[in-house]
Amino acid sequence: MESIAPSFVVSPGELADCVSALRASTPLIQCISNSVVTNFTANVLLAAGASPAMADLPGEAGDFAAIASGTLINLGTPYAEQRAGALEAVTAANAAGTPWVLDPVAVGSLRVRTELAFELRGLNPTAIRGNASEIMVLAESGNGGRGVESTDSVESAASHARSLALLTGAVVAVSGPRDLVTDGTRTVLVHGGSSLLTRVTGGGCALGAICAAFLAVHDDPLVATVAAHAFYSAAAERAELLSNGPGTFAVNFLDALALVGPQELKEKAVLS
């Protein structure tokens, strides 16, 4: 296993500042996401303190990206209208300076989304979030996972994540038992979270939306993405303590996203 020694320090105070900024500004987050998880994603954003809007229609998606604080492009169910809407949104986001996140769900063997993911890869995403298998495919170094699951470890994806970051200019985040966030030169590991998140559909997809929300309120995309992951993990840990299984966990997780404040993140988040 190659080394994924962290090379950068995000201070507890910076994490706390990101949460304070989110709560103070209620950023408007455009979600162009898959039909399975839009409801959960919107509820995650609302609970965390952002304002979600699913505006993915051609003829509307671009106008919305221009006024949004952040945009998520998730490729889980890329129907024809949504593919057109996604490209329209990205063009407008780039023109307006709206940060946007690419989540290349299940890229690899599935042709339509994989082709779109590679096109979007070249359009200056602010951040790219996925599991290890997805990130490796997008870095052209893997064959893809099993459906929406990763068949590769975060550790094995580390160097590919750095390459992808350098290639695209995006911050790249790899989700797993511990999360890796890198901009190609600076790398941070985020510890904690809950394995129950993998038993709730959209657990990863909604994290992409939270990344967009934090990118909307902090100028350094690496710090913002690290803060998003640390915040998400802190809420998951809180929820796990109260839950008897995946059903109660999902509910308590939404409560926890509303309850985790700057101070808690400052004191409890574990980075390395």
Query: Binding residue per annotation — 1?
Result: no
Query: Binding residue per annotation — 175?
Result: yes
| Binding window for a second copy (CB under 8 A); candidates: 12-20, 89-97, 109-117, 150-158 | 109-117
* Chain residues 227-266 in contact with a second copy, contact rule CB under 8 A: 243-248, 250-259
CB of 91 to a second copy, least distance (A): 16
Q: Which of 4, 43, 135, 233 binds a second copy (CB under 8 A)?
A: 43
| Binding window for a second copy (CB under 8 A); candidates: 34-42, 122-130, 208-216, 220-228 | 34-42
Give dist(CA 135, CA 141) in Å, integer: 9
Query: Binding residue per annotation — 202?
Result: yes
Element (H, E) at 196: none
- Amino acid symbol at 224: A
Residue pair 120/78 in contact by the 8 Å Cβ criterion:
no
Query: Binding residue per annotation — 23?
Result: no
Residue pair 61/89 in contact by the 8 Å Cβ criterion:
yes
Specify the residue, 20 or 198, whose C-beta has the smaller distance to a second copy: 198
Residue pair 268/251 in contact by the 8 Å Cβ criterion:
no
CA dihedral for 61, 62, 64, 69, sign (positive or negative): positive
Specify the residue, 31 or 174, whose C-beta has the smaller distance to a second copy: 31
Q: How many CB atoms lie within 10 A of CB 161?
A: 28
Specify the residue, 4 or 254, whose C-beta has the smaller distance to a second copy: 254
Interaction pattern, residues 120-159, with a second copy; x per rule: CB under 8 A:
--------------------------xxxx----------
Q: Which of 20, 25, 77, 124 binds a second copy (CB under 8 A)?
A: 77
Q: Which of 13, 79, 95, 143 binds a second copy (CB under 8 A)?
A: 79
CB of 128 to a second copy, least distance (A): 21
Q: Which of 10, 21, 55, 209 binds a second copy (CB under 8 A)?
A: 55
Convert 107-145 to b/e letters by CB count within 10 Å (16 or more is b): bbeeeebbebbeebbebebbbbbbbbbbbbbbbeebebb
57 binds a second copy (CB under 8 A): yes
Q: 3-state DSSP: the chain helix, strand, coil percent, rounded to 5?
A: 55, 15, 35
Taking CA atoms, 135 is separated from 67, 139, 146, 156, in Å, by 29, 6, 14, 11
CB of 198 to a second copy, least distance (A): 8
Give dist(CA 95, CA 256) in Å, integer: 35
Residue pair 92/66 in contact by the 8 Å Cβ criterion:
yes
CB of 51 to a second copy, least distance (A): 6
Q: Which residues contact 123 (CB under 8 A, 6 or more apart)?
A: 90, 91, 94
Annotated binding site for ATP: 129, 175
Q: Which residues bind a second copy (CB under 8 A)?
A: 28, 34-40, 42-43, 46-47, 51-57, 59-60, 63-64, 67-68, 76-81, 106, 109-113, 146-149, 198-202, 243-248, 250-259
